[in-house]
A and B are shown apart, each in its own frame.
Chain A
């Protein structure tokens, strides 16, 4: 009998505590700040056995007024099914954004779903001023930045060849000193990475030249280079070898040598022959002057 009485007292005590302090006892989380005065008044939003009916929400929040006060997008009046808790839950803490589910555009009626600018304003930048207002051709309703593949053919006029009108030049050493704005020489319109720059078109990085960029491009300046950054090439031995051939100007190595093989100058053979011929003529005329 005594045991049953203890069970009874415990049961009543717990049930009374739940009824008196529902927020402390059974609430699945704090209401957000604007609702915090409703903490212990569950029935202000909930209806017994009926969930959270919209009527309880719109008593305070007029659908046509939502968004107006804070100058936000007023789209609530365009929703097909105005079921508040399909987007707005609560009991997720004091920050109201935590209780906001991701907006699903399918909730909009078809007319407004296809007219993005009825809710969103068009960005005020050079790119968007050149394109049509057919947002869905580049953006999806799932994410603004989720681009499948931007078709540059959509850009019309002079801006089409001015990459920097929309893109920013990377701030790395390679791009910092670039003044050409000729992005297309290394990058394609389909993707930024990987670049289409092929070092072999300038100089072939063979097994003997498989080294760090800074060995040749000192100070990370990719517009200049030196071949004297390694032990193999010194100014003296290069000068000696070139003077033997009658070449006095050997500052710009890749003008003749596009590959590590010193005998292979085929890549610019005519240019090299002309260069040597010019060098020899200069030398001969110089010797004639002495006479």
Chain B
């Protein structure tokens, strides 16, 4: 049972998180090897933009936009946020000399870890709701209606609410630190 939890839940988390860290290290190594370190500067812009795009899901969840399929947008949110985080890590490198950027990078990694925990909770919820799907089918609802109903059920579960109370402040803090960094670059560069 214990091994089952490690293989099913802990191992994928470590794989995803390690992928982010090692991808950043490898990209940074390639940039230094080919003497194209200046690209790292532009990865900061690209990474920020990528993460901002991933927030389309957050807008959808709060019903601020009407287009897009929630499930698909959530997948985009996961992959775009992770890709953007890798770019930001490469952008930062290890050449950080002051508190705010260190804090921003630390919060970024915490935020990714938090996101991966959220991803795990959603997967757990899907399993829980599978039985409910079966009963909805029996009640005569269409596939689309069942899909919508099941998805919102998943992410409005109590555990998701609790998780969100952690994930959102972390995201806010990351946004605030990034904004100060961007403003200071615009002001003084």
Contacts and interface: CB of A to CB of B under 8 A. Distances in A.
A51 B189 contact: yes
B184 A49 contact: no
Interface string B29-51: 00000000000000000000000
B186 A25 contact: no
Contacts of A29: 95, 97
A71 B15 CA distance: 59
A23 B188 CA distance: 13
Given A7-B169, A11-B176, A15-B180, A24 B187 contact: no
A48 B187 contact: yes
A27 B187 CA distance: 12
Contacts of B173: 10
Contact of B97 (A10, A30, A42): A30
B71 interface: no
B174 to A, nearest CB: 12
A22 B189 CA distance: 14
A25 B98 contact: yes
B106 interface: no
B2 to A, nearest CB: 37
B99 interface: yes
Interface string B164-178: 000001001100110
Given A27-B97, A51-B189, A14 B177 contact: yes
Contacts of B172: 7
A17 B189 CA distance: 20
A105 interface: no
Interface residues of B, number: 18
Interface of B is mostly: helix
B186 to A, nearest CB: 7
A28 B172 CA distance: 23
Contacts of A46: 187-188
A46 B188 CA distance: 6
B186 A49 contact: yes
Nearest to A25: B100
Interface residues of A, number: 22
Given A18-B100, A49-B186, A26 B169 contact: no
A24 B180 contact: no
B181 interface: yes
Chain A facing B: main interface SS: helix
A196 to B, nearest CB: 37
B184 A26 contact: yes
A23 B100 CA distance: 10
Nearest to B168: A3
Interface in A23-57: 23-30, 42, 46, 48-49, 51
A81 B187 CA distance: 24
A38 B59 CA distance: 44
A87 to B, nearest CB: 17
Nearest to A46: B188
Nearest to B97: A29
B188 A25 contact: no
Nearest to B187: A48
A22 B176 CA distance: 16
Nearest to A51: B189
A52 to B, nearest CB: 8
A223 B119 CA distance: 80
Contacts of A10: 173, 176
A43 B186 CA distance: 14
A18 B189 contact: no
Contact of B187 (A7, A25, A49): A49
Contacts of A30: 97
Contacts of B95: 29
Given A14-B100, A26-B98, 7 more contacts: A10-B173, A18-B100, A18-B184, A24-B98, A27-B97, A28-B97, A29-B97
27 contacts: A7-B169, A10-B173, A10-B176, A11-B176, A14-B176, A14-B177, A14-B180, A17-B99, A18-B100, A23-B98, A24-B98, A24-B99, A25-B98, A25-B100, A26-B98, A26-B100, A26-B101, A26-B184, A27-B97, A27-B98, A28-B97, A29-B95, A42-B188, A46-B187, A48-B188, A49-B187, A91-B97
What 5 A-B pairs come out closest when comparing CB atoms? A29-B97, A46-B188, A26-B184, A25-B100, A27-B98
Interface of B: 95, 97-101, 169, 172-173, 176-177, 180-181, 184, 186-189
